[in-house]
Chains A and B, each alone.
Chain A
């Protein structure tokens, strides 16, 4: 059961077509998406600051190949070391349990106010709504997450969740919730967010973060951030909970140093992210800083199933967002039409793998297979290949009377019989020539402007 997905909800992968049509015709979104293209250029500069970025990609890919293949040993070792340092480790097999575990910790510690630093896994589990129903106040502190929490929207990008919003829209939102001077100036808006979020850091009884990496040799969790809210969240409240999934575990600090080089360049075009926090355990004796309780929730919701499948490589993903930054489809429709936590190429694959064919099986088809994503993926996931594999799964499950299946079966039939094929070709040429007007193009077929003919003509056969 996916807590945050309801059939009637517009934000759902099965409403992909409706949602993308809405977005294509949204000029404001077009502007925002155009603006976000600058990250493509800044990444090109960032990768030049290592001597051999392609070699670095190979290294990162191998580190992940190895870790994914050895999760049993890595996690056993991680847990042993984490516990040695006072970390309380929980394991969860479904979203309900993730939320329940967090609630139990909150209840035991009489938590009323929670601050959160970005965690995609708690988006998967629908934690915020769950805690809201239990009358626990949750404040997202990452600027982008704060914006979308207050505008009641889902994130549209995994690194910059409010990328679809213009500064005017943020200004309008802040003027409503902060009741301060209205401004379109991005620096002033950021300053307002700082001032308004700050008290929450001090009032919070519990902080919830994600974890970019788990380090097996030391039992540590690592977060990679820029704003400082992640550090506030893992240090100030008396309880800290880190929510992570099993495939995030790597072996040691040598591997971490390497992965960081490729992650920050791919995600935000930085040589290094402003803050890298490596947390091992709770507050030590005599320390003034730090939580008195540190919990890590290791979740496996659907991950082991993917691990055994032929799309296991998606588990290598380090959530940098480079694929969606380079995707022509994402840049046309934005993130929301993907209908769940993850948008873009990795989202199409992961959403479909976790939610199944019925709900999200269309997403892997929403790609030209151009591989602009695959060539920038820092861990060399063959994204278009995985999409085709998922298409195969969807195709096999399709009803034989589905139009698509009929056409493809017909095509393969005639392709196996050359004389029939050539006959079909000549008929098609005749029809298209008849449909074409004097200008050498066809505006529609029998008056139908389906698919191809949306704002486009078809050249007349020569």
Chain B
């Protein structure tokens, strides 16, 4: 089965290692991973800022890059959400050919943890081990647009040695909001402080999540608050459990 990986612009800039890690994980489970070289951005920054016209062209690029694959995996709830929820309106006036491509693509696109859960299954992770106590932050788009809640938790719980301590409000927004974090940085930073205080009071040393935007925000704030807490994408944690030999129990 050919799985296309849409790694997202933030991963490209801030953590391209996640690309290789995601590839390793998917290949381990027998998927052939295709990483289209001409991928760039899903159009979310433009769309959310109200720039619909420029967003439309970017939709076309994404659709053409990925429509022929069996599955498309996106390590970001907000990007997957953008493609699934907002593309239909943006491509409304496009030629039928593009709309048909999107229609077939739409059924096969998954946020990363959702793909792991539905196409691989939590049981397949019980063979791995990793000593890690973590708390999980629910990214807003993943949670409210795509209903990502149990999927990452069920998988993590299966890994021997992983313990999840829930923060008091895991579903509260971390304050990132894309360009909001720059345009209204003062407000964004204050919201981030509340999220980080919640994380800090769990006493765990690692927060795991599914969106790099949230990760940059939370890590950046924790660093400023002088708290040494690791912030990992789910891909990092799964990869560590699967490929770091020292973790084998």
Contact = CB atoms under 8 A, between A and B. Distances in A.
Q: Do A and B come from one complex?
A: yes
Interface of A: 20-21, 24, 328-329, 332-333, 365-372, 374-375, 388, 390-396, 404-405, 408-409, 411-412, 414-416, 418, 421-422, 425, 428-429, 432, 439-441, 450-459, 461-462
B185 A415 contact: no
B144 A371 contact: yes
A395 to B, nearest CB: 3
A451 B37 contact: no
B50 A395 contact: yes
Contacts of A365: 49, 180, 183-184
Given A368-B177, A370-B144, A454 B49 contact: no
Contacts of A453: 185
Given A388-B47, A416-B58, A370 B173 contact: yes
B45 A462 contact: no
B187 A411 contact: no
A425 B12 contact: yes
Contacts of B51: 392, 395, 405, 408-409, 412
Contacts of A414: 40
A368 B141 CA distance: 10
State the 7 A-B residue pairs at the shortest beta-carbon distance, nearest first.
A368-B177, A391-B50, A395-B50, A451-B185, A412-B54, A451-B182, A370-B173
Interface string B133-174: 000000010001100000000000000000000000001110
**Taking chain B's interface residues, is the majority helix, strand, or loop, or is none over half, making it mixed?**
helix
Contact of A412 (B57, B172, B217, B221): B57
Interface of B: 9, 12-17, 37-41, 43, 45-52, 54-55, 57-58, 61, 140, 144-145, 171-173, 175-178, 180-194, 215-217, 219-221, 223-224, 231
B48 A459 contact: no
Given A21-B186, A372-B171, A408-B54, 12 more contacts: A328-B191, A332-B191, A365-B183, A369-B180, A370-B177, A391-B48, A415-B41, A421-B41, A425-B13, A428-B13, A440-B223, A459-B219
B136 to A, nearest CB: 17
A211 to B, nearest CB: 33
B52 A392 contact: yes
Nearest to A366: B184
Contacts of A418: 37-40
A461 B15 CA distance: 6
B49 A391 contact: yes
A452 B220 contact: yes
B41 A411 contact: yes
Given A332-B187, A395-B50, A411-B46, A459 B220 contact: yes
Contacts of B184: 20, 329, 365-366, 451
A462 B61 CA distance: 27
Nearest to B139: A370
B224 A457 contact: yes
12 contacts: A368-B140, A369-B48, A369-B140, A392-B50, A395-B49, A411-B46, A412-B58, A415-B9, A416-B57, A421-B40, A452-B181, A456-B224
Contacts of A452: 181-182, 185, 188, 220
B125 to A, nearest CB: 24
B181 A408 contact: no
A462 B14 contact: yes
B220 A441 contact: yes
A24 B188 CA distance: 11
Given A404-B49, A428-B13, A455 B224 contact: yes
Given A411-B46, A450-B182, A455-B224, A20 B61 contact: no
B117 to A, nearest CB: 22
A461 B14 contact: yes
A18 to B, nearest CB: 11
Contacts of A458: 216, 220
B220 A415 contact: no
A455 B187 CA distance: 10
A429 B13 CA distance: 6
B146 to A, nearest CB: 11
A336 B215 CA distance: 31
Contact of B48 (A332, A333, A388, A432): A388
B184 to A, nearest CB: 6
Contacts of B12: 422, 425
A374 B144 contact: yes
Given A24-B187, A429-B13, A455 B193 contact: yes
